[in-house]
């Protein structure tokens, strides 16, 4: 019995020692994101992008830390898009795996919102990847001391609302839309992504005298939109905005909308960019306006090349999430490269000074006030696309457009 | 216009209700016969969907692929019952053990599907394209088909339970397992049949619903939450109760969206559920136990 206890203690000690040793010999980056549940597709595509970037960085010799080149290692934990699961996953990465840098969440704002409170308890740099909720930035800005180590890697949700608003204003100016009653309708999923994007747009349109004819919030992964679409027919809005991170919701919405012949400009957020959207929605995708169209594997030569490399490795098409995971990992590697050490304060200073161009996506510069990646034409630029005959093309901003907007 | 849309909402509710009824009747059948709550029922829907997708992938026409999926799922359900549920029924803690094993099975099947089929969802084609349009009233033929096929399948199941030898066996076991065994009913075979039929109904549901919802590892989970509510509303173990409660809940949800907002959809359904249970704790068609 006693011998068994000693053996157990010894093996635990050796186990811990090997974790410490591994942590010293490589740069360990922990990623918390959805690998199961309705948003798993996005989480897994992001993970693939991360793995591709790490493979390239390590093949090129790794990142020099204190004069010694260290390899990057990514450790992934599943959040299932649930805050409580995400917090446990983050704690495991922080305490057991002793990561040098934590990314949480890769997709869900609600998980980030919960995990970021660990920032003051664990003295390591942390960052959210694609969560866009402005509430995260607001939280940082309100208590900069508590969140001094926490950063937000993507733009804020008000950018989506703004691009929807700017685009609508632009097509009105161009006289391709003549609003009958200045009304806008929202069908969004019950996530922070869906709600926060809609709220920003509602405020902007309200200031211009528009009314929100209906605001429908449906569960994540929802697919029976007939009741909502029947309601859209009664209110006949000029613009319909939909936001889903679950691909099946997007396809179901597009197909059912086409069946019901609801008129109006249809703007989709997130889902029309998923690789399965166009092949599965088929003709129902025609005329869809969508954002962010930041990954164009057909018309952008650099993204096309990325897409080919990605396909060769994973045998599936790359997506906005995969290219995002790829570039985001390169941003983190750049932070370690400039810091040249693993000490938290130095890494945080390096994050603040980031000015990194990932040529397949955009330029990362952080706003020091709210620790958030800057958006705009000089930084991470949002583009609006439109689908016709199965192909998306940029239609807005006008200077980046590869084709003109056509009403449905 | 408002009248037409309200009519559309009622028809939408009937279609949704038909789906709830299809899935809940299977659950109710299992509970009525075995007193087991099958938490893996949603995953039978998911497996049914993937079986149909595989069938189409093998070159079968969609209706044939759905029929094949129904047959396959019948055997999958029976096998699951034989391997995992039946061995637990003689234990003292069988009630909890069966919940634990079906819940565990649900998790294993979801994650197994994620591993085998991948994270991206798959779509089945519509069985019938086009839209039935009468004036301003519009309804896709796929949804007309869902309603007709579901109602026919439930009616066929009702007739099977009432008039067939095996249906009589199921009803006898549901009424009194020991007495049925004494009278020569093969109780274990009846259990397997019940699980198999329930899974087959799920596969039919998946084949009809797959073109609308897509097929993915978690497709059964939200449906099952509603199916459980339907079973309780209709009365635990009541086949007819599950069908009527399914339609009732479907209509309530659709009309509720029209009158309020999507956010209130579930609130309305569950308030009605609570109100009914307050007045009739044994459900609309359940039997009061004294």
Return the C-alpha torsion angle B62, B63, B67, B72, nearest 10: 0
Partners of A41 on chain B (C-beta within 8 Å) are 119-121
Partners of A234 on chain B (C-beta within 8 Å) are 1-2, 5
Least confident range of A22-31, B155-164, B250-259: A22-31
B84 touches chain A (CB under 8 A): no
Report residue B263's pLDDT band, with 50, 70 and 90 as the boundaries. confident
Flag if A227 and B15 touch (Cβ within 8 Å). Answer: no
Residue carrying structure tokens 């010799």: A61
Partners of B265 on chain A (C-beta within 8 Å) are 227
How high is the pLDDT of residue A19?
53
Q: What is the pLDDT of residues A25-51, one digit of tens each?
A: 899 999 999 998 878 888 999 999 999
Q: How far apart are CA A84 and CA B166, in angstroms?
A: 47
The pLDDT of A111-127, averaged and rounded, is 93
Q: What angle do CA A147, A148, A150 make, to 5 degrees?
A: 60
Task: In chain B, count H helices and then E strands.
Answer: 11, 2
H or E stretch at A201 = helix A192-207
Q: How far apart are CA B129 and CA B131, in angstroms?
A: 7
Does the CA dihedral A325-A326-A328-A334 come out positive or negative? positive
Nearest CB to B8 within list A219, A230, A276: A230
Q: Do domains A2-156+301-373 and A158-298+382-400 have the same CATH topology?
A: yes
Nearest to A148 by CA among A364, A354, A355, A348: A348
Least confident range of A151-155, A391-395, B138-142, B200-204: B138-142
Percent of chain B residues past pLDDT 70, beyond the cut: 99
Q: Is residue A218 within 8 Å of residue A162, measured between CB atoms?
A: no
How high is the pLDDT of residue A133?
87
Percent of chain A residues past pLDDT 90, beyond the cut: 71
CATH code assigned to A158-298+382-400: 3.40.50.2300
Flag if B213 and A40 touch (Cβ within 8 Å). Answer: no
Flag if A41 and B8 touch (Cβ within 8 Å). Answer: no
Q: How far apart are CA A164 and CA A239, in angstroms?
A: 10
Nearest to A110 by CA among A39, A200, A193: A193
Interface with chain A: mutation pick from B8, B121, B213, B221, highest number of A CBs within 10 Å: B121
How high is the pLDDT of residue A24?
61
CA separation (Å) from B68 to A130, B50, B56, B122, B155? 42, 11, 10, 18, 21
Q: How far apart are CA B286 and CA B31, in angstroms?
A: 12
How far is Cα of residue B55 from the mean position of the Cα atoms in its chain? 21
Nearest CB to A227 within list B111, B214, B258: B258
Partners of A215 on chain B (C-beta within 8 Å) are 261
Nearest CB to B261 within list A36, A216, A248: A216
Q: What is the pLDDT of residues B226-252, one digit of tens each?
A: 899 999 999 988 889 999 999 999 999
How high is the pLDDT of residue B63?
95
The pLDDT of A196-210, averaged and rounded, is 92
**Minimal Cα distance from B123: which residue of A?**
A280
* Choice between B259 and A143, residue whose per-residue pLDDT is larger: A143
How high is the pLDDT of residue A247?
87
Interface with chain B: mutation pick from A226, A229, A253, A314, highest number of B CBs within 10 Å: A226
| Structural domain spans, chain A | 2-156+301-373, 158-298+382-400
pTM exceeding the 0.90 threshold for the entire prediction: no
How high is the pLDDT of residue A262?
87
Q: How far apart are CA A303 and CA A357, in angstroms?
A: 14
Is residue B15 packed enough to be buried (19+ CB in 10 Å), middle (13-18) or exposed (0-12)?
A: buried
Report residue B121's pLDDT band, with 50, 70 and 90 as the boundaries. confident
Q: What is the pLDDT of residues B3-60, one digit of tens each?
A: 888 888 899 999 999 999 999 999 999 998 988 999 999 999 999 999 999 999 999 9
CB atoms within 10 A of CB B148: 12
Whole-number average pLDDT of chain A: 90
- Res. A388: pLDDT tops 50: yes
* Choice between B100 and B90, residue whose per-residue pLDDT is larger: B100
Q: What is the pLDDT of residues A281-308, one digit of tens each?
A: 989 999 999 998 988 888 888 999 999 9
B90 touches chain A (CB under 8 A): no
- Res. A256: pLDDT tops 60: yes
How high is the pLDDT of residue A12?
47
Nearest to A200 by CA among A165, A167, A235, A244: A165
Report all structural domains of chain B as residue ranges with CATH numbers, in order of start: 2-279 (1.10.3470)
Least confident range of A197-211, A331-345, B209-223: B209-223
Q: What angle do CA B18, B19, B21 make, to 5 degrees?
A: 65
Tell me which architecture the domain covering A2-156+301-373 has in CATH.
3-Layer(aba) Sandwich (3.40)
Q: How far apart are CA A252 and CA A270, in angstroms?
A: 14
Q: What angle do CA A271, B120, A314 make, to 5 degrees?
A: 110
* Choice between A223 and A18, residue whose per-residue pLDDT is larger: A223
Residue carrying structure tokens 């157990």: A8
Q: Is residue A281 within 8 Å of residue A254, measured between CB atoms?
A: yes
Whole-number average pLDDT of chain B: 91
Q: How far apart are CA B53 and CA A291, in angstroms?
A: 30
B39 Cβ contact partners less than 8 Å away, ≥ 6 residues apart: B99, B102, B103, B105, B106, B224
Q: Is residue B85 within 8 Å of residue B101, measured between CB atoms?
A: yes
How high is the pLDDT of residue B245?
93
**Minimal Cα distance from A226: which residue of B?**
B12
């Amino acid at each position: 019995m006693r011998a068994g206890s000693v053996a157990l203690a010894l093996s635990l000690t050796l186990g811990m020692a090997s974790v410490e040793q591994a942590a010293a010999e490589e740069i360990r980056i922990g990623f918390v994101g959805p690998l199961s549940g309705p948003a798993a597709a996005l989480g897994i595509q992001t993970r693939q992008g991360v793995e591709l970037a790490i493979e390239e960085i390590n093949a090129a010799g790794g990142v020099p830390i204190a004069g010694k080149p260290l390899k990057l290692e990514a450790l992934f934990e599943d959040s299932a898009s649930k805050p409580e699961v995400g917090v446990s996953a983050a704690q495991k990465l922080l305490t057991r795996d002793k990561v040098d840098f934590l990314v949480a969440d890769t997709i869900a704002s609600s998980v980030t919102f919960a995990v970021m409170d660990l920032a003051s308890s664990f003295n390591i740099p942390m960052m959210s990847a694609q969560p866009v909720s402005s509430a995260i930035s607001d939280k940082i800005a309100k208590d900069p001391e508590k969140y001094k180590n926490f950063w937000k890697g993507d733009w804020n949700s008000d950018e989506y609302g703004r691009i929807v608003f700017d685009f609508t204003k632009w097509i009105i100016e161009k006289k391709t839309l003549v609003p009958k009653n200045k009304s806008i309708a929202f069908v969004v999923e019950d996530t922070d992504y869906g709600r926060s994007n809609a709220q920003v747009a509602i405020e902007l349109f309200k200031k211009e005298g528009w009314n929100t004819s209906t605001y429908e919030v449906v569960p994540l992964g929802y697919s029976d939109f007939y009741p909502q679409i029947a309601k859209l027919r009664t209110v006949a809005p000029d613009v319909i905005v939909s936001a889903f991170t679950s691909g099946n919701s997007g396809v179901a919405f597009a197909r059912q909308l086409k069946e019901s012949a609801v008129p109006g400009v249809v703007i989709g957020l997130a889902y029309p960019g998923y690789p399965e959207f166009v092949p599965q929605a088929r003709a129902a995708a025609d005329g869809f306006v969508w954002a962010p169209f930041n990954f164009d594997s057909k018309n952008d030569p650099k993204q096309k090349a990325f897409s080919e490399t990605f396909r060769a490795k994973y045998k599936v098409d790359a997506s906005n999430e995969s290219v995002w995971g790829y570039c985001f990992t390169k941003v983190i590697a750049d932070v370690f490269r400039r810091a040249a050490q693993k000490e938290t304060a130095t890494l945080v200073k390096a994050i603040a000074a980031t000015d990194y161009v990932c040529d397949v996506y955009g330029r990362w510069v952080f706003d020091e006030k709210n620790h958030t990646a800057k958006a705009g034409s000089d930084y991470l630029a949002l583009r609006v696309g439109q689908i016709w005959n199965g192909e998306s093309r940029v239609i807005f901003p006008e200077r980046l457009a590869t084709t003109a907007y056509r009403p449905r | 216009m408002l009248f037409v849309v309200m009519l559309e909402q009622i028809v939408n509710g009937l279609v949704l209700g038909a789906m709830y009824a299809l899935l809940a009747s299977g659950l109710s059948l299992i509970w009525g016969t075995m007193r087991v709550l099958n938490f893996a029922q949603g995953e039978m829907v998911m497996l049914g969907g993937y079986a149909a997708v595989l069938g189409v992938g093998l070159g079968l026409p969609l209706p044939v692929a759905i029929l094949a999926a129904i047959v396959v799922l019948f055997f999958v359900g029976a096998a699951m019952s034989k391997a995992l549920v039946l061995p637990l029924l003689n234990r003292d803690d069988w009630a909890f053990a069966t919940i634990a094993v079906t819940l565990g099975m649900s998790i294993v099947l979801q994650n197994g599907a994620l591993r085998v089929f991948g994270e991206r969802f798959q779509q089945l084609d519509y069985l019938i394209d086009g839209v039935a349009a009468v004036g301003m009233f519009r309804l896709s033929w796929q949804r007309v088909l869902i309603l007709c096929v579901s109602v026919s399948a439930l009616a066929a199941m009702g007739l099977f339970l009432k008039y067939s030898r095996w249906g009589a066996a199921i009803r006898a076991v549901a009424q009194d397992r020991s007495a049925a065994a004494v009278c020569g009913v093969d109780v274990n075979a009846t259990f397997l049949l019940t699980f198999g039929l329930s899974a087959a109904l799920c596969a039919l549901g998946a084949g009809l619903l797959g073109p609308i919802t897509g097929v993915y590892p978690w497709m059964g989970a939200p449906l099952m939450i509603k199916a459980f509510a339907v079973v309780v509303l209709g009365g635990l173990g009541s086949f007819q109760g599950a069908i009527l409660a399914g339609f009732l809940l479907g209509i309530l949800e659709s009309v509720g969206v029209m009158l309020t907002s999507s956010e209130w959809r579930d609130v309305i359904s569950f308030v009605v559920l609570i109100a009914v249970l307050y007045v009739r704790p044994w459900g609309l068609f359940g039997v009061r136990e004294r």
